[in-house]
Amino acid sequence: MRISGQTGFIGRILKRAGGERAFFLLAFSLCVAGGLTQEVRADTDNDQGTERGAYLTAAGGCYGCHTDIKNDGKPYAGGRALETPFGTFYTPNITADRINGIGSWTDNDFLRALKRGISPSGHYYFPAFPYPSYTKMKDEDALAIKSYLLSLEPVAAENKPHEIAAPFSWRWLQWGWRILFFEEEPYQPPSGASEAVARGGYLVDALTHCGECHTPRNALGGPDSGRYLAGTPNGPDGERVPNITPDSASGIGDWSEGDIVTLLRDGMKPDFDNVQGSMAEAIEHGLSHLTDEDLAAIAAYLKSIPAIATGGS
Ligand code: HEC
Ligand code: HEC
């Protein structure tokens, strides 16, 4: 890494963690941990609600991470291994089972987990669970997902402990990570965005979490927001993740909106190659279930973001 990049990075940390903000975040985390949360209710006995929940669950990509597909695991029963530089995480059971799953969770437990990264017993989740994206989700969308999950068959699969070494396994250390990198805020469309761009931005940032893979991370595992969606040679699972900003040389500036929709729906690139790896999974278990209208909104949004040129391609 270049020296100037390092200084900029440390400078940003100091600035972000500085004085007032750190105090505010501390006070805020304590309030949240103390349970000072608003009551919001899920709309359970309602088919239309459940259908909307199924759609949003697909958009959120919950199935792919929370199902041990490789070992024929039951849907949403967890146990999928996620390899990271810090060790292996095993996703938990999020079926309606009351003991191993989320069957006994209140609506507020669910919102606090998904949008604040805090468990019902008050511990911090690791950001291998993309709550830093889901935090931008509307409460009613999050609760529609809960209704859908609870409408499915409970599965009594036990949770597997993560295999991560200390100090990364210390959940309380997430406190520091959160101060540096976690902002709890509702989705804000770019100013002057059309309805489609605003919808696309919400889907990209709050639900489909494209940035979790396509935005590079800094040395502490936080997103490098100055390189939003600009790709990385070293993504999750060590995969190369391409630049999807509208830069024509290194990004997808030459793709039409239709090309982007085709990729997200069918996994096929403009040169007729199929995408591979985690993108193929994200498409199969999530994005391909979205309506063409929503995929077009994602494409319109991607066309509207700043182009960032990256070395190579
Ligand atoms: C990239 C993989 C990934 C995706 C996508 C994902 N999760 Fe998770 N989720 C995790 C991991 C890993 C954990 C465990 C985090 C920890 O132990 O700190 C987790 C934890 C959870 C928990 C806490 C369960 C408990 O027993 O404490 C809930 C609830 C949850 N996820 C729901 C969802 C929902 C709903 C979605 C879709 C909107 C989703 N997750 C998408 C990886 C993922
Ligand atoms: C789980 C990680 C992950 C997520 C989430 C993800 N991607 Fe990808 N994406 C990848 C990887 C890895 C590739 C490269 C696949 C390959 O090499 O075939 C890729 C490839 C692409 C490409 C092809 C670009 C090119 O130049 O070939 C596009 C476009 C794309 N992703 C858009 C998106 C959008 C839009 C989202 C959110 C809706 C998204 N991706 C979510 C990992 C991800």
pLDDT tens-digit map of 275-313? 999 999 999 999 999 999 999 999 999 999 999 999 854
CA distance 135 to 77: 23
pLDDT at 255 over 70: yes
Q: Average pLDDT in the 52-60 region?
A: 97
pLDDT at 18 over 80: no
Q: Average pLDDT in the 100-108 region?
A: 98
Q: How far is the CA of 92 from the centre of ligand 1 (A)?
A: 7
Q: How far is the CA of 286 from the centre of ligand 2 (A)?
A: 12
pLDDT of residue 210: 97
pLDDT of residue 265: 98
Residue type at position 189: P
Q: Phi-psi region for residue 180, left (φ > 0), alpha (ψ -120 to 50) or beta?
A: alpha
Q: What is the mean pLDDT of the chain?
A: 86
pLDDT of residue 7: 32
pLDDT at 2 over 90: no
pLDDT at 40 over 50: no
Beta bridge partners of 83: 88
pLDDT of residue 220: 80
Whether the CB of 296 sits within 6 Å of ligand 2:
no
pLDDT at 49 over 90: no
pLDDT of residue 85: 80
Q: How far is the CA of 59 from the centre of ligand 2 (A)?
A: 14
Residue type at position 9: F
Beta bridge partners of 111: none
Q: How far is the CA of 243 from the centre of ligand 2 (A)?
A: 9
- pLDDT band for position 64 (50/70/90)? very high
pLDDT of residue 23: 33
Whether the CB of 313 sits within 6 Å of ligand 2:
no
- Helix segments in the chain, DSSP class H: 3-17, 19-33, 47-60, 62-66, 107-116, 131-134, 139-151, 174-181, 195-202, 211-214, 257-266, 277-285, 292-304
- pLDDT band for position 45 (50/70/90)? low
CA distance 102 to 106: 9
* Contact between residue 211 and residue 223 where contact means Cβ atoms under 8 Å apart: yes
pLDDT at 16 over 50: no
Of residues 220 and 229, more confidence is placed in 229
Mutate which of 66, 98, 107, 237 for ligand 1? The one with the most ligand atoms within 8 Å of its CB, which is: 66
Q: Average pLDDT in the 161-165 region?
A: 94
Residue whose CA is at the smallest distance from ligand 2 atom 31: 279
Cα 293 from chain centroid? 21
Q: Which residues line ligand 1 (CB under 6 A)?
A: 60-62, 65-66, 82, 89, 91-92, 94, 102, 113-114, 119, 125-126, 128-130, 134, 145
Residue whose CA is at the smallest distance from ligand 2 atom 40: 210
Find which of 37-46, 230-239, 273-282 is predicted with most confidence, using mean pLDDT. 273-282
Task: Tell me the Cα Rg of the chain.
Answer: 19
Largest Cα–Cα separation, the chain: 57
Q: For residue 187, which of 138, 145, 224, 223 has the smallest C-alpha distance? A: 138
Judged by its nearest atom, the ligand closest to the C-alpha of residue 81 is: 1
Residue whose CA is at the smallest distance from ligand 2 atom 41: 210
Interacting residues of 91 by C-beta distance below 8 A, sequence separation 6+:
65, 66, 78, 79, 80, 82, 129
Whether the CB of 279 sits within 6 Å of ligand 2:
yes
Of residues 174 and 29, more confidence is placed in 174
Q: For residue 106, which of 169, 47, 39, 45 has the smallest C-alpha distance? A: 39
- % residues pLDDT > 70 (the chain): 84
CA distance 241 to 249: 15
pLDDT of residue 131: 97
* Contact between residue 132 and residue 222 where contact means Cβ atoms under 8 Å apart: no
pLDDT tens digits, residue range 185-223? 999 999 999 999 999 999 999 999 999 999 999 888 899
